[in-house]
């Protein structure tokens, strides 16, 4: 039997789209409530430890051996030629020939009950060491930024796949009908190498993509405000007319994205009232602003600079403001808040990207803010239900990058990309503080409890009450999953509380 496009669409219509469509007509009050809870009885639901996630991604990838991995043996090798066993058969982004080994550029001390080693350039993070679950044995199979970022955030090194936040938004939605379930905040002067694909919805309905909020002094979201001369009542009439046109178009063509468009218009209308309120950090008491190092209304020169790295200042408050906004967002029911901070790609090839000079500046920009975020969440009782994640897309090599400088030179000390071992940490809901995993004497390979990208993704979903193996979306004849088609993704049980 030949089906019309409309009938074909009806066969493929998901329950969410049905509820979205029905919720715009008769019975909208009840169905709108059901829409936010429609996943509660789904087969992929399991008991949850976390209600929300704040994911702090340091785009470019910080050096684990200069921040969390104290390696005295590596320090002893500083300046000698790298042994060939670490070079033969390996692929590097920039290293050529035989580089010099490079010890940590900073001092270390142990902190907390676990004796966590933390670098001297993270003094505020050191104070909250007992809140951190530090995973030292992450691995990835990508060694360039864009594919590594995409693999970490979408489960695939190629564009076109849904981000973690979109999967979470699709699966359990927002707790606040007037705010999106997935919000993105950026700092550092540029977006990550993989661009906005990192918070895209891929093949999921576009309703579930991340909503980027700006912190540059303008409207938090572009085009959210009504045009001059248009009242809110007039905007409502305009949206009603657009809804009628879109519903008529859908009845003829049957494209589910038409329903997503209607839902997005309606959410935008509700957000006109809720977003400015939530994004206004001036309402916070001075003690909270000081805790984060936040500055209401601050606009960083780096946001408009051609190369922001050359002008980085330690007192740049953009990331601090974003951390405070993240707390306000999860406090108001946003499910997934993603902070991207650009500028962590410290190759040492040019001014403004060195381990010895620029890394301390970047750490100063985030250190107090992150410690303040954890302390603030804890004092409000939110850390028990909020999972905080920190890290980059891979690590840095224990040898120097030598494609431009063959000797260790002040202001030009850098490391290449290192996929074989790197460090991330989690804190809050569902994870126990301490150290998980180990690496060898120079931080090159994991020697205990290696953790893959899919393991990390599976654990994150698990903590949110989503079975990572059962949670899927039908697309191109397959039940697509964040963790991919195989059973590679394992829950990291050793970090669960």
Residue 67 has pLDDT above 90, yes or no: yes
Report the pLDDT value the prediction gives residue 76, as an integer from 0 to 100: 97
Report the pLDDT value the prediction gives residue 224, as an integer from 0 to 100: 60
Q: How far apart are alpha carbons 340 and 59 in whole angstroms?
A: 6
Report the pLDDT value the prediction gives residue 42, as an integer from 0 to 100: 67
What would the pLDDT profile of 80-134 be if each residue is shown by its tens digit? 999 999 999 999 999 999 999 999 999 999 999 999 999 999 999 999 999 999 9
Q: DSSP letters of 185-238?
A: EEESSS--TTGGGGG--TTS-GGGS-EEPP-SSS-SSTT-SPPTT--HHHHHHH
Average pLDDT over residues 216-235: 62
Report the pLDDT value the prediction gives residue 223, as an integer from 0 to 100: 53
Residue 475 has pLDDT above 50, yes or no: yes
Report the pLDDT value the prediction gives residue 283, as an integer from 0 to 100: 92
Helix (H, G, I), strand (E, B) or coil at 303: helix
Residues whose CB is less than 8 angstroms from the CB of residue 52 and which lie 6 or more positions away in sequence, other chains included: 330, 334, 335, 336, 337, 385, 386, 387
Question: Are the CB atoms for 243 and 260 separated by under 8 Å?
Answer: no
Q: How far apart are alpha carbons 376 and 324 in whole angstroms?
A: 9
Report the pLDDT value the prediction gives residue 279, as an integer from 0 to 100: 84
Question: Are the CB atoms for 349 and 401 separated by under 8 Å?
Answer: yes
85-99, 207-221, 309-323: segment of lowest average pLDDT: 207-221
Question: Are the CB atoms for 356 and 413 separated by under 8 Å?
Answer: yes
pLDDT band, residue 176 (cuts 50/70/90): confident
Residue 36 has pLDDT above 80, yes or no: no
The number of residues making up the chain comes to 497
Element (H, E) at 289: helix 286-292
Average pLDDT over residues 191-213: 94
Residues whose CB is less than 8 angstroms from the CB of residue 465 and which lie 6 or more positions away in sequence, other chains included: 45, 46, 47, 48, 49, 50, 172
What average pLDDT is seen over the chain?
A: 87
Residue 338 has pLDDT above 90, yes or no: yes
Average pLDDT over residues 251-259: 73
73-87, 139-153, 164-178, 427-441: segment of lowest average pLDDT: 164-178
Sorted by where each starts, the structural domains of the chain and their CATH numbers stand as 42-220+279-495 (3.40.720.10)
Report the pLDDT value the prediction gives residue 35, as an integer from 0 to 100: 41
Average pLDDT over residues 315-322: 96
Report the pLDDT value the prediction gives residue 20, as an integer from 0 to 100: 47
What would the pLDDT profile of 408-428 be if each residue is shown by its tens digit? 889 999 999 999 999 999 999
Residues whose CB is less than 8 angstroms from the CB of residue 192 and which lie 6 or more positions away in sequence, other chains included: 57, 59, 60, 145, 149, 198, 340, 342
Report the pLDDT value the prediction gives residue 6, as an integer from 0 to 100: 43
Report the pLDDT value the prediction gives residue 111, as an integer from 0 to 100: 97
Report the pLDDT value the prediction gives residue 258, as an integer from 0 to 100: 76
| First-residue to last-residue Cα distance in the chain | 55
Report the pLDDT value the prediction gives residue 276, as an integer from 0 to 100: 72
Report the pLDDT value the prediction gives residue 25, as an integer from 0 to 100: 42
Q: How far apart are alpha carbons 35 and 214 in whole angstroms?
A: 28
Question: Are the CB atoms for 414 and 403 separated by under 8 Å?
Answer: no
Residue 32 has pLDDT above 90, yes or no: no
Q: How far apart are alpha carbons 201 and 490 in whole angstroms?
A: 24
pLDDT band, residue 39 (cuts 50/70/90): very low
Q: How far apart are alpha carbons 126 and 118 in whole angstroms?
A: 6
Residue 372 CA, distance from chain mean position = 18
Q: How far apart are alpha carbons 275 and 316 in whole angstroms?
A: 24
Rg of the chain on CA atoms, in Å: 23
Is beta strand 108-111 parallel, antiparallel or unpaired with respect to 116-119? antiparallel
3 vs 282: which has the higher pLDDT: 282
Residue 222 has pLDDT above 90, yes or no: no
Report the pLDDT value the prediction gives residue 218, as an integer from 0 to 100: 58
Sign of the alpha-carbon torsion through 342, 344, 350, 351: positive
What would the pLDDT profile of 449-465 be if each residue is shown by its tens digit? 999 999 999 999 999 99
What would the pLDDT profile of 354-402 be if each residue is shown by its tens digit? 999 999 999 999 999 999 999 999 999 999 999 999 999 999 999 999 9
3 vs 231: which has the higher pLDDT: 231
Residues whose CB is less than 8 angstroms from the CB of residue 70 and which lie 6 or more positions away in sequence, other chains included: 104, 108, 117
pLDDT band, residue 265 (cuts 50/70/90): low
Task: Give the residue among 289, 367, 365, 368 at the shortest CA–CA distance from 328.
Answer: 289
Give the distance between the most distant pair of CA atoms in the chain. Answer: 75
Q: How far apart are alpha carbons 161 and 147 in whole angstroms?
A: 12
Residue 28 has pLDDT above 70, yes or no: no
């Amino acid at each position: 039997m030949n089906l019309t496009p409309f009938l074909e669409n009806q066969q493929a219509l998901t329950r969410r789209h049905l509820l979205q469509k029905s919720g715009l007509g008769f019975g909208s009050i009840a169905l709108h409530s059901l829409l936010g809870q429609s996943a509660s009885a789904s087969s992929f639901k399991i008991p949850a430890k976390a209600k929300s996630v704040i994911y702090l991604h340091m785009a470019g990838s910080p050096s684990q051996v200069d921040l969390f991995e104290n390696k005295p043996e590596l320090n002893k090798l500083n300046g000698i030629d790298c042994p060939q066993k670490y070079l033969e058969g390996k692929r590097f982004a920039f290293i050529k020939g035989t580089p010099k080994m490079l010890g940590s550029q900073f001092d270390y001390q142990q902190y907390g009950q676990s004796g966590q080693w933390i670098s001297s350039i993270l003094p505020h993070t050191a104070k909250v060491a007992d809140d951190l679950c530090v995973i030292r044995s992450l691995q990835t199979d990508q060694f360039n930024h864009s594919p590594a970022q995409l693999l970490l955030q979408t489960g695939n090194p190629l564009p076109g796949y849904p981000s973690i936040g979109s999967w979470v938004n699709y699966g359990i939605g927002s707790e606040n009908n007037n705010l999106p379930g997935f919000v993105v905040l950026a700092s550092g002067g540029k977006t990550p190498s993989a661009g906005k694909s990192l918070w895209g919805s891929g093949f999921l309905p576009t309703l579930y993509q991340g909503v980027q909020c700006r912190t540059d002094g303008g409207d938090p979201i572009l085009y959210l405000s009504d045009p001059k001369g248009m009242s809110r009542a007039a905007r409502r009439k305009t949206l009603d007319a657009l809804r009628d046109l879109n519903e008529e178009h859908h009845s003829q063509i049957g494209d589910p994205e038409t329903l997503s468009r209607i839902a997005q218009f309606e959410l935008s209308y509700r957000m006109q009232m809720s977003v400015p309120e939530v994004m206004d950090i001036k309402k916070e008491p001075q003690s909270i602003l000081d805790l984060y190092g936040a500055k209401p209304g601050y606009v960083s020169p780096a946001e408009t600079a051609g190369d922001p790295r050359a002008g980085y200042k330690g007192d740049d408050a953009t990331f601090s403001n974003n951390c405070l906004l993240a707390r306000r967002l999860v406090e108001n029911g946003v499910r997934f808040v993603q902070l991207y901070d650009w500028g962590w790609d410290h190759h040492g090839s040019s001014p403004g990207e060195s381990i010895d000079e620029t890394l301390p500046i970047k750490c100063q920009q985030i250190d107090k803010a992150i410690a303040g975020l954890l302390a603030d969440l804890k004092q409000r009782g939110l850390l028990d239900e909020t999972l905080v994640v920190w890290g980059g897309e891979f690590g840095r090599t224990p040898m120097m990058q030598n494609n431009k400088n063959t000797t260790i030179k002040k202001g030009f000390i850098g490391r290449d990309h290192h996929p074989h071992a790197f460090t991330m940490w989690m804190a809050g809901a569902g994870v126990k503080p301490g150290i998980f995993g180990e690496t060898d004497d120079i931080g090159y390979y994991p020697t205990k409890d290696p953790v893959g990208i899919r393991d990390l993704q599976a654990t994150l979903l698990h903590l949110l009450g989503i079975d990572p193996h059962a949670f899927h979306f039908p697309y191109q004849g397959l039940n697509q999953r964040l963790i991919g088609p195989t059973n590679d993704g394992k829950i990291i049980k050793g970090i669960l509380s």
